[in-house]
């Protein structure tokens, strides 16, 4: 029986010009390249300029994705931006982006806040709309300017985060309905609000009319991140009807190299098949997976037919996975 599946037809990314190294950070807070590298695997991260907004990074990433997908802006039927650092409290950053991209009048545009799992959540929403036949082509973005909610005097958090945006174009196409099809074969999302206090911004519009700074219980996040990232892969593989041994590439949320290493071991997937960008991006929350996808495409590593497993975990807690064949 034929089915519609969302094909990943183009990716793009944008990183701010400014690079902040661990040595730069060691002049700002009591830390060192050695401490940051061994605990996290991060060497440097990009930092947005004061007047460089989440919508600006999203726009540049979108233009690259649209070009790579060989479509026109007017072919896009839906735009969704995953972010915890929107330009404004409202309207959605996606609405501003739709205007900048001069999308067709009436094109639906929305943001989603699922922290570091935002891209997985946004992809599930877009994929479901495509499979239902509501839309044909979606622009899905993960974009953050986390530097603007980072307390640059707090060494526990300021060494971890970075800014950037990644964009993907999904387009529906008829497939045979088999696990050998190209396109998104599965998405799965989860949340557990009981973990709210382990990773959060200390402020908010309703709370005190501020954006606040990131706070995190690093040890607790570390512990829960590993089984959550594993579950995101295992459950989406099950839905897709494929095995871990079929996977060509694993693209995890890029928070910490030690977390990625542990997850790869538990999944029994060789590190040669794991995409790592945390060393030069830091943790860019919702942007980390589409950034990693787009950068790896640009390097020419991915080939037609490759099976990619993706999983993310973040504040909420939220977590989930995607399985897609190119
Ligand atoms: N430089 C030097 N020393 C530091 C720094 C720093 N930047 N930050 C903390 N320390 C100190 C602490 O104060 C502590 O000192 P003390 O023993 O005198 O009190 C010591 O280093 C050890 O701190 P721990 O918190 O025990 O260090 P740990 O080994 O747990 O590593 C880390 C901390 C890297 C945050 C780790 O817990 C971690 O990676 N957690 C995962 C969290 C994560 O990646 N979050 C990202 C967001 S969530 C997500 O994206 C899924």
User: b/e string for 255-293 if b means 16 or more Cβ within 10 A?
Assistant: bbbebbebbbeebebeeebbbbbbebbbbbbbbbbbbbb
Annotation says 194 is catalytic:
no
User: How far is the C-alpha of 49 from the C-alpha of 121, rounded, in Å?
Assistant: 28
User: How far is the C-alpha of 116 from the C-alpha of 278, rounded, in Å?
Assistant: 13
Q: Is the CB of 215 under 6 A from ligand 1?
A: no
Q: Is the CB of 40 under 6 A from ligand 1?
A: yes
Ligand 1 center from residue 118 Cα (angstroms): 23
Ligand 1 pocket, mutate which of 26, 222, 291 (most atoms under 8 A from CB): 222
For every one of its 326 residues, what pLDDT tens digit does the chain have, with 9 covering 90 and above? 899 999 999 999 999 999 999 999 999 999 999 999 999 999 999 999 999 999 999 999 999 999 999 999 999 999 999 999 999 999 999 999 999 999 999 999 999 999 999 999 999 999 999 999 999 999 999 999 999 999 999 999 999 999 999 999 999 999 999 999 999 999 999 999 999 999 999 999 999 999 999 999 999 999 999 999 999 999 999 999 999 999 999 999 999 999 999 999 999 999 999 999 999 999 999 999 999 999 999 999 999 999 999 999 999 999 999 999 99
- Residue bearing tokens 């409202």: 90
Of the residues 116, 175, 256, 281, which is catalytic?
116
Ligand 1 center from residue 44 Cα (angstroms): 17
User: b/e string for 63-92 if b means 16 or more Cβ within 10 A?
Assistant: bbbbebbebebebbbbbbbbbbbbbeeeeb
Ligand 1 center from residue 144 Cα (angstroms): 22
Strand bridging mode 183-191 / 44-47: unpaired
Annotation says 116 is catalytic:
yes
Annotation says 128 is catalytic:
no
């Amino acid at each position: 029986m034929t089915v519609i599946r969302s094909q990943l037809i183009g990716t793009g990314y944008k990183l701010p010009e400014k690079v902040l190294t661990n040595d730069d950070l060691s002049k700002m807070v009591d830390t060192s390249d050695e401490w940051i590298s061994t605990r996290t695997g991060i060497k440097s991260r990009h930092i947005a300029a004061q007047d460089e907004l989440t919508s600006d990074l999203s726009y540049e990433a979108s233009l690259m994705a649209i070009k790579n997908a060989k479509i026109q802006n007017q072919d896009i039927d839906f735009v969704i931006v995953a972010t915890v650092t929107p330009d404004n409290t409202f309207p959605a950053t996606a609405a501003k982006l739709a205007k900048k991209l001069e999308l067709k009048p009436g094109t639906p545009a929305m943001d989603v806040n699922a922290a570091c799992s935002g891209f997985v959540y946004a992809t599930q929403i877009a994929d479901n709309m495509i499979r239902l036949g509501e839309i044909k082509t979606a622009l899905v973005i993960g974009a953050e300017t986390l530097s603007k909610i980072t307390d640059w005097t707090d060494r526990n958090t300021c060494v971890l985060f970075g800014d950037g945006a990644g964009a993907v174009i999904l387009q529906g196409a008829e497939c045979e309905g088999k696990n050998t099809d190209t396109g998104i074969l599965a998405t799965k999302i989860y949340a557990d609000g009981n973990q709210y206090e382990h990773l959060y911004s200390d402020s908010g519009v309703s709370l005190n009319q501020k954006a606040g700074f990131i706070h995190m219980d690093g040890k607790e996040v570390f512990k829960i991140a590993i089984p959550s990232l594993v579950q995101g892969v295992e459950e989406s593989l099950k839905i897709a009807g494929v095995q871990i041994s079929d996977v060509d590439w694993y693209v995890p949320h890029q928070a910490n190299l030690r977390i990625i290493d542990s997850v790869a071991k538990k999944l029994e997937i060789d590190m040669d098949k794991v995409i790592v960008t945390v060393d030069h991006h830091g943790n860019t929350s919702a942007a980390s997976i589409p950034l990693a996808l787009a950068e790896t495409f640009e390097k020419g590593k991915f080939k037609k037919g490759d099976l990619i497993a993706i999983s993310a975990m973040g504040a909420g807690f939220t977590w989930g996975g995607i399985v897609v064949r190119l």
